[in-house]
């Protein structure tokens, strides 16, 4: 890590916030205490001239984040979906960061296509528009395929974006090390691992071949989801820095006035977007992890269309079950079960008291359930839960960071469509269905069947594996290879018995 460079980068961040007038907005948004406000002004003002000026036509915070670069823009995109944190006015200002950033020229875009696809742009496309959307990492052009006449969207990475993003991530690593050094208690949160996880996500977003593959897998998983559409990837027109897909025609999900004018049912859309996310996360373990309004449209028939698959989340089956049980426990207000799940999964050290932890969780859940639907917030629940788990020594689960972050973003999107949505009522049927199919008797039968398949695959090798292990542990005098047929006979009979027991168990459960 380049210490001086990163110190300079972090100083310039504060200076840019001060110069653009965003410092006050940030402090107000997070309700900073008076001493912190004074300290920020005293420290920030002398270095104000070091900050980036940004685009004066933009609102202060949007101007600052745009000037600071892609990693900061990503932060602004998340904040734009959280009016309950940033306030309605600030959240509305930040939405321009989603797909309305300054574009690069059509000339540069065509050159990028020609370098990547090794053919002249005019040969591949009979028309190629000015940018229709420009985000932090790439921009999109509307084009027509010369061969078929189909209208498509062509996504192209910004020139030099890889270097710019890696500079920001380098500074984040430096900040994480600095925090760990100054505050040993913060090591419980594993900030270095969090940044490493974020870096992996970003690197995936910077290779459009991976995004194309993610879109293809996502489409296969969701082909039967009612009210949901995905564009089709055009593989022959795609590469590392260019991705081409079918054009998605619809109204942006963040434009409530246009949705109302089109006669769309916003409360129904609010409910569907949340349930779709939960289904993808729990049922498939593979979900769109950047579901802000800039990546969602509504088709004329009311279907939700998702695009931009650069950030996708994946969680294994065991973690999905743990997450579902925790969420369902809160929905049912069964805090003892939520506490037990944390202990069973190893999230909380085993030397802590489970009953005390359950009481602490009740203090988290009950105040939220006492609120009316407009004030119930998954973001607030996660914040309270974070405080409690910190007190009980729970370490940050890096595999759940993206899931939790996306849950907060999706809730913000859903609330922007229907502020009165009750998140618990909407989530309950999805979680109940997953619990029924993945934790009940059918799930046990499925687990037994998978175990039997694995044992059957390795069965012929088990005698040799055990014998090799015994020989390695034996003394030199004992390492004379024993006769193999008695061991193989025992293992063979044992395998037959185990297979019969597993089969009997599956039949009984079914």
Q: Are 325 and 337 in contact (CB under 8 A)?
A: yes
- Percent of the chain beyond pLDDT 90? 29
Q: Name, of 49-63, 115-129, 283-297, 306-320, the range with top average pLDDT.
A: 115-129
Quick check: 18 pLDDT over 70?
A: yes
What are the counts of helices (DSSP H) followed by strands (DSSP E) for the chain? Answer: 24, 10
Overall average pLDDT of the 60-79 stretch: 78
SS3 content of the chain, % helix, strand, coil (to 5): 65, 10, 25
* Domain co-membership, 415 together with 482: no
Q: pTM for this structure?
A: 0.71
- Write down which residue in 439, 457, 475 finishes a domain: 439
Q: Label residue 373 by pLDDT band (50, 70, 90).
A: low
Position 83 in a domain = yes
* Domain co-membership, 53 together with 199: no
Helix or strand (DSSP H, E) at 68: helix 60-68
- In this prediction, residue 503 carries a pLDDT of 47
Overall average pLDDT of the 501-505 stretch: 48
* Domain co-membership, 475 together with 348: no
Q: Which is nearest to 451 in space by CA: 494, 499, 504, 385?
A: 499
Host domain of residue 455: 442-509
| 340 compared with 70, residue with greater pLDDT | 340
- In this prediction, residue 496 carries a pLDDT of 46
Helix extents (H) in 392-484: 398-417, 423-438, 441-458, 462-473
* Domain co-membership, 404 together with 449: no
Overall average pLDDT of the 461-468 stretch: 73
* Domain co-membership, 177 together with 258: no
| 406 compared with 142, residue with greater pLDDT | 142
Position 427 in a domain = yes
Position 355 in a domain = yes
Look over the chain and give the mean of its residue pLDDT values, rounded to a whole number.
Answer: 79
Measured distance between the N- and C-terminal CA atoms of the chain, rounded to whole angstroms: 57
Residue written as tokens 């009522």?
A: 425
* Domain co-membership, 412 together with 399: yes
Quick check: 231 pLDDT over 90?
A: yes
Strand partners, 154: 141, 244
- Write down which residue in 415, 439, 463 finishes a domain: 439
* Residues found in the chain: 510
Position 223 in a domain = no
Contacts of 21 (CB under 8 A, 6+ apart): 60
* Domain co-membership, 370 together with 488: no
* Domain co-membership, 503 together with 364: no
Q: Label residue 404 by pLDDT band (50, 70, 90).
A: confident
- In this prediction, residue 262 carries a pLDDT of 94
Q: Label residue 116 by pLDDT band (50, 70, 90).
A: very high
* Domain co-membership, 382 together with 450: no
Quick check: 142 pLDDT over 80?
A: yes
Phi, psi of 287 (to 5 degrees): -140, 155
Position 231 in a domain = no
Quick check: 313 pLDDT over 60?
A: yes
CA of residue 55 relative to chain centroid, distance: 30
290 annotated active-site: yes
**Alpha-carbon span 446 to 507, nearest angstrom:** 11
Contacts of 218 (CB under 8 A, 6+ apart): 230, 280, 286, 288, 309, 312
Sheet holding 125-134, edge to edge: 125-134, 138-145, 151-157, 242-246
Q: Report how many domains make up the chain.
A: 4
Contacts of 347 (CB under 8 A, 6+ apart): 322, 389, 394, 395, 397
**Alpha-carbon span 384 to 366, nearest angstrom:** 11
Position 135 in a domain = no
Phi, psi of 392 (to 5 degrees): -95, 10
Overall average pLDDT of the 229-258 stretch: 94
The DSSP line for 213-240 is: HHHHHHHHHTTT-TTEE-PPB-GGG--S
Q: Are 133 and 139 in contact (CB under 8 A)?
A: yes
Overall average pLDDT of the 490-507 stretch: 48
Name the catalytic one among 84, 168, 225, 290.
Answer: 290
Q: Are 207 and 42 in contact (CB under 8 A)?
A: no
- In this prediction, residue 122 carries a pLDDT of 93
- In this prediction, residue 386 carries a pLDDT of 65
| 478 compared with 239, residue with greater pLDDT | 239
Q: Label residue 507 by pLDDT band (50, 70, 90).
A: very low
SS3 52: coil
- In this prediction, residue 508 carries a pLDDT of 47
Distances 115 to 139, 140, 153, 391 between C-alpha atoms, Å: 17, 17, 18, 54
* Domain co-membership, 316 together with 193: no
* Domain co-membership, 382 together with 493: no
Position 336 in a domain = yes
Quick check: 281 pLDDT over 70?
A: yes
- In this prediction, residue 203 carries a pLDDT of 78
Q: Are 285 and 320 in contact (CB under 8 A)?
A: yes
CA of residue 61 relative to chain centroid, distance: 24
Quick check: 449 pLDDT over 90?
A: no
* Domain co-membership, 353 together with 502: no
Q: Is 240 exposed, middle or buried (0-12, 13-18, 19+ CB in 10 A)?
A: middle
Quick check: 156 pLDDT over 90?
A: yes
Q: Is 50 exposed, middle or buried (0-12, 13-18, 19+ CB in 10 A)?
A: middle
- Write down which residue in 406, 439, 472 finishes a domain: 439
Contacts of 478 (CB under 8 A, 6+ apart): none
């Amino acid at each position: 890590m380049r210490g001086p460079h990163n110190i300079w980068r972090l100083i310039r961040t504060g200076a840019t916030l001060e110069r653009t007038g965003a410092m006050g907005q940030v402090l107000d948004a997070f309700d900073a205490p008076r001493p912190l406000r004074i300290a920020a002004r005293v420290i920030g003002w002398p270095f104000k001239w070091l900050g980036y000026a940004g685009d004066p036509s933009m609102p202060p915070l949007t101007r600052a984040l745009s000037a600071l670069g892609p990693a900061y823009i990503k932060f602004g995109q998340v904040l734009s979906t959280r009016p309950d944190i940033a306030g309605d006015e600030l959240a509305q200002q930040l939405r321009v960061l989603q797909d309305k950033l300054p574009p690069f020229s059509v000339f540069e875009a065509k050159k990028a296509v020609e370098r990547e696809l090794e053919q002249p742009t005019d040969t591949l496309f009979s028309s190629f528009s000015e940018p229709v959307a420009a985000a932090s990492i790439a921009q999109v052009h509307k084009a027509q395929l010369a061969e078929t006449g189909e209208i498509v969207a062509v996504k192209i990475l910004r020139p030099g974006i890889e270097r710019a993003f890696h500079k920001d991530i380098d500074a984040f690593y430096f900040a994480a090390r600095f925090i760990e050094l100054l505050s040993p208690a913060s090591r419980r949160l594993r900030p270095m691992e969090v940044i490493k996880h974020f870096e992996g996500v970003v690197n995936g977003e910077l290779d459009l071949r991976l995004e194309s593959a993610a879109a293809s897998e996502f489409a296969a998983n969701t082909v039967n989801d009612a009210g949901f559409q995905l564009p089709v990837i055009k593989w022959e027109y795609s590469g590392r820095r260019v991705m081409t897909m079918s054009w998605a025609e619809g109204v942006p999900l963040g434009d409530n006035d246009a949705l109302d004018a089109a006669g769309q049912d916003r409360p129904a859309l609010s409910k569907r977007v949340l349930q779709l996310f939960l289904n993808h996360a729990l049922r498939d373990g593979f979900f769109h992890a950047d579901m802000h309004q800039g990546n969602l449209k509504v088709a004329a028939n009311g279907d939700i269309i998702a695009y931009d698959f650069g950030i996708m989340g994946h969680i294994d089956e065991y973690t999905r079950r743990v997450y579902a049980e925790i969420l369902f426990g809160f929905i049912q207000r069964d805090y003892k079960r939520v506490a037990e799940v944390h202990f069973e999964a190893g999230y909380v050290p085993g030397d802590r008291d489970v009953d005390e932890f359950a009481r602490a969780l009740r203090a988290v859940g009950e105040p939220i359930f006492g609120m009316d639907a407009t004030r119930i917030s998954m973001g607030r629940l996660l914040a309270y839960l974070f405080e409690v788990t910190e007190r009980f020594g729970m370490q940050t689960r890096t595999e759940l960071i993206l899931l939790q972050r996306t849950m907060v973003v999706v809730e913000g999107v859903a609330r922007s469509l229907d502020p009165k949505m009750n998140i618990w009522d909407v989530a309950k049927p999805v979680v109940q269905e997953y619990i029924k199919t993945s934790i009940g008797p059918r799930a046990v039968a499925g687990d037994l069947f998978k175990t039997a398949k694995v044992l059957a695959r390795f069965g012929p090798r088990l005698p040799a594996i055990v014998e090799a292990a015994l020989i390695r542990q034996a003394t030199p005098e004992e390492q004379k290879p024993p006769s193999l047929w008695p061991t193989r006979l025992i293992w063979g009979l044992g395998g037959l018995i185990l297979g019969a027991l597993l089969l009997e168990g599956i039949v009984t459960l079914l």
